[in-house]
Amino acid sequence: MIALPAHATPPDQIYTLNCWGCHQPHAQGIPGSVPRLANSMGCFLHLPEGRAYLAEVPGVASAPLSDDEIARVLNWMLLTFSRPQIPKDFIPYTAHEIHNYRRHKLVNVTATRRKLAAELMAMGLQVSDDGESASAGAPGSPPARPKP
Ligand code: HEC
């Protein structure tokens, strides 16, 4: 165990303060705008690009949090909400790794997510629907996508 500085905010509190509003208490998301992370986000770790994606999405990369806080909240979320999907050889994110991912801006988040989802599907791993396809059956009511 690495000793944490005494002032470090526990990851569950980081989640409540910064992520909960969109991702919801059990990471179930908001149909039509925020994808479910529960029993889904761990799948992305099976691809190197997926591992990067989890740290590159705008809600993560632009959060007012340090690299260390992002690493800790992502590791906590993965183990709390998506443990069954995590690869057996999972190595937790480090602050250094997050630092490098965060500098890379995703140009098209939805397209990146769909490409990863298709590659994962081919490997037998199913991630949750993205907000846009979740609302595809509701004509005339475009999803109110929250601004990060
Ligand atoms: C304003 C709403 C909002 C906030 C706040 C937010 N997110 Fe998100 N998050 C989203 C949306 C919407 C997506 C889907 C990708 C996209 O369109 O940006 C997403 C995607 C993700 C993903 C990728 C998983 C997937 O299935 O696509 C992760 C990981 C994630 N968020 C983590 C976090 C963390 C950690 C925080 C807090 C530091 C956070 N988010 C805060 C809205 C939000």
Mention every residue, 6+ apart, whose C-beta is less than 8 A from residue 124. none
CA distance linking residue 92 with residue 55, whole number of Å: 12
Spacing, Cα 58 to ligand 1 middle (Å): 7
| CA 56 from centre of chain | 9
For 28-68, the pLDDT digits (tens) are: 999 999 999 999 999 999 999 999 999 999 999 999 999 99
The answer on pLDDT for 134 being more than 80 is: no
The ligand 1 atom nearest the CA atom of 63: 38
Spacing, Cα 35 to ligand 1 middle (Å): 8
Question: Domains in the chain, ordered, with CATH?
Answer: 11-123 (1.10.760.10)
The ligand 1 atom nearest the CA atom of 54: 29
0.85 surpassed by pTM: yes
